[in-house]
Chains A and B, each alone.
Chain A
Amino acid sequence: MTLVYVEHQDGRPDDASLQAIALAREIAGGAPLHALLAGPGAEHAAAGLGAHGVATAHIAEHEALATHAPVALARCIGELIDRLSPAAVAAAGSERGNEVLAHAAALGDLPLAANCIAAEAGDPLTVTRIRWGGSLLEDARLHGPVKLLTVAPHTVEAAEVGGGSADVERFTPSLGEADLVVRVVETVQQSSEGGVNLADARFVVSCGRGAGSPEGFAPAEELAALLGGAVGCSRAVTIAGWRSHTDQVGQTGTKIAPEVYLACGISGATQHMAGCKGAKRIIAVNIDPEAPIIANADYAVIGDLHEVIPAITAELRKAGAG
């Protein structure tokens, strides 16, 4: 059998977890698929998993699991490994999915392949995983008595495969004090006053070093505001101290997935492209028609961002936007 750790929110499994299930199903190759859920709303979230091919959903019940507690979650996985002897354990390659599986790997001294996008059943398991935020792929063999892997988000299609609802099995993990040292003790809600969250924005306008100065972002701000979008920037800009790191699109910044990404004066280094792969359409504005970003964009405008951005704003105004 194969076990998947499923993250969920508001009673629904996360997309990334459903994608992980899809890959796990391939690894299982017909063997039963089990899921592990924990925390508030787990039962609700488990309800729909049968459609994704999950035979049994294990729900860990423990008051300490009310907030995120990665070591405790890893203990739950460990218990299931001991009890069910799965051939593989998968999770989403989300921040927390990676974290929890890394703890599980450490507890069991097992190898872990993070951010896989494909796997071929077998022992060892042959996987393809991403490096450099997706700019590079690695084919690897995953060894160990239990194969631990996470699945890079948005690289595998989630699919409903029919089937009924999953059996639900509750269990209470035995957690020691040490397992609960690391847990969320407080959650601060950020009021997103006026501004739109970069990660969720449907329209993002980014500028690179070509903006020239912090003030050079004003036209981008104006354009983004007009369509209810957000402003991003390249790593060079945050390093220069022109904008806060929260605005940085990239491998080590925010990963965005807007309908349209307008990248202005950004050359398209791999570090940046890793952050905007999720965009549906990329429009590059660059003075250099050979800039690497052009080879990764859907549309391009050859020109100076200082002239092009205001022209777009003016054109939008003419079209009655804002």
Chain B
Amino acid sequence: MNILVCAKRVPMTGGTIVLTEDEQSIQTRHLGFTISPHEECGVEEAVRLIEANGGESVVLALGPSEAEEQLRDAMALGIDRAILLETADEFDGQATAAAIVAAIEAERAAGVEFDLIFFGNESADSGNYQVGIRVAHALGRPCVTGVKGIAVQDGRARCEQETASGRDVYDVPLPAVVTVKEGLNLPRYPSVPGRLRAKRKPLATSAAAGRDPGVEKLRLRLPPGQGKQAEILGHGPEAAPAVVEVLRRAGLMA
């Protein structure tokens, strides 16, 4: 089987977010970048499924040229090759989906059909909750979202969602699109040989075509009410009575 994982390059934020002066993005001068957490699990799942079933795994990112770093990260974990849809701009959900669909169709034209396409349920940064679903519709495939368990058998994928009371189960035929959530698995760390292999794995770069945004970003800003200073209840174990008093006032000791 063939699996495509779509992964997004996002900054690893610390305790506070600092914006660039033009308020269009996060100040990332001091930050490292990573694959958005849900998608890390998508990468891991793809690697496991291919290890178990054979076939090819491909990772795709839409983003700046530096996203090669995250694509290599994914290949270090065992993904076979990578596709970078390069753009310096931030695309909205529709534009992102359209660019990815075009790339998948190009793969199809080259004879590659993906049985499964993984997305993260939502990206850590923009949180649009829609790209996977849009791609599925464009390709005419079913899409299960928020998946935290998946089993593939006999051309079908049995997918599980976590709910407040338990799990909801879906059963869809392949090919399918699945958007996954962190917790699906515990992603491995890359090995050194994996890292070295990743350097030599193929990575195809093409320019991503944009379109007028349907959701047009004007500016970013920090939510109000940041930086309230906590009341210090005390230092070390001596603070315990004060903590208990807070618990009492909260009605937890009834």
Are A and B in direct contact (Cβ within 8 Å)? Answer: yes
List the interface of chain A (C-beta within 8 A of B).
68, 70-71, 95, 98-99, 102-103, 105-107, 109-115, 124, 126, 130-144, 150, 178, 181-190, 197, 199-200, 202-203, 227, 229, 235, 238-239, 241, 244-246, 248, 251-253, 259-260, 262, 267-271, 280-284, 289, 291-304, 307-308, 310-312, 314-316, 319, 321
Flag if A102 contacts B130 (CB, 8 Å).
yes
The one of A99, A197, A299, A302 that contacts B133, using a Cβ cutoff of 8 Å: A99
Q: Are B168 and A68 in contact (CB under 8 A)?
A: yes
A137 to B231, CA, bound (A): 27
Distance of A15 Cα from B244 Cα, bound (Å): 31
Q: Are B218 and A315 in contact (CB under 8 A)?
A: no
Given contacts A130-B127, A183-B170, A252-B182, contact A312 B215 (CB under 8 A): no
Contacting residue for B125 out of A106, A131, A134, A143, CB 8 A: A131
Q: Is the CB of A307 within 8 A of B229?
A: no
For the complex, is B222 an interface residue (Cβ under 8 Å from A)?
Answer: yes
Residues of B within 8 A of A267 (CB): 15
Is the CB–CB distance between A136 and B17 below 8 Å? yes
Question: B153 at the A/B interface (Cβ < 8 Å)?
Answer: no
Q: Which residue of A lies closest to B123 (CB)?
A: A131
Q: A102-B129, A138-B220, A299-B230 are in contact. Are A132 and B124 (CB under 8 A)?
A: yes
Answer yes or no: B173 CB below 8 A from chain A CBs: yes
- Residues of chain A within 8 A of B212, CB atoms compared: 143
A70 near B223: Cβ-Cβ < 8 Å: no
CA of A112 to CA of B127, assembled, Å: 11
- The complex places the Cα of A199 from the Cα of B162 at a distance, in Å, of 12
User: When the two chains form the complex, which single residue of A111, A259, A308 contacts B215, counting CB atoms closer than 8 Å?
Assistant: A111
Residues of A within 8 A of B232 (CB): 289, 299-302
Q: Is A301 a contact partner of B124 (Cβ separation < 8 A)?
A: no
A residues less than 8 Å from B222 (CB atoms): 135-137
Q: Which residues of B sit under 8 angstroms from A130, Cβ to Cβ?
A: 127, 223
Q: How large is the interface on B (under 10, 10 to 19, 20 to 34, 35 or more residues)?
A: 35 or more
Are A292 and B14 in touch, CB under 8 angstroms?
A: yes
Which residues on B sit within 8 Å (CB–CB) of A70? Answer: 145
Tell whether, in the assembled complex, residue B215 and residue A301 are in contact, meaning their CB atoms are under 8 Å apart. Answer: no
Q: How far is the CA of A289 from the CA of B253 in the complex (A)?
A: 28
Enumerate 29 A-B pairs (CB-CB under 8 Å) in ascending A order.
A95-B161, A98-B122, A103-B133, A105-B93, A106-B97, A106-B138, A107-B137, A111-B215, A115-B127, A137-B222, A138-B219, A141-B216, A182-B170, A184-B168, A184-B169, A185-B170, A185-B171, A186-B168, A188-B169, A190-B167, A202-B252, A203-B252, A239-B186, A245-B182, A246-B162, A252-B38, A280-B250, A312-B240, A319-B248
CA A310 to CA B250, docked complex, whole Å? 20
Name which of A202, A235, A270, A310 has the most chain B CB atoms within 10 A of its CB: A270
Decide: B246 and A299 in contact? CB cutoff 8 A: yes
Interface flags, B118-161, vs A, CB<8A=1, else 0? 00011011111110011011101011111000000000000011
Q: Chain B 193-230, CB within 8 Å of chain A: the 1/0 string?
A: 00000000000000000001111111111110011111
Q: Out of A142, A188, A251, which one reaches B124, CB within 8 Å? A: A251
Residues of B within 8 A of A270 (CB): 13-17
Contacts of A113 in B (CB 8 A): 215
Contacts A190-B167, A199-B164 given; indicate if A315 touches B134 (C-beta within 8 A): no
Check A134–B223 contact: CB distance below 8 A: yes
Q: Return the chain B residue nearest A181 by Cβ.
A: B142
Question: How many angstroms between the C-alpha atoms of A261 and B243 in the bound complex?
Answer: 11
18 extra interface residue pairs, beta carbon distance < 8 Å, beyond A106-B134, A300-B233: A105-B93, A106-B137, A114-B122, A114-B129, A131-B125, A132-B125, A141-B218, A186-B168, A187-B168, A188-B167, A203-B250, A246-B162, A268-B15, A271-B124, A296-B228, A303-B237, A303-B239, A308-B237
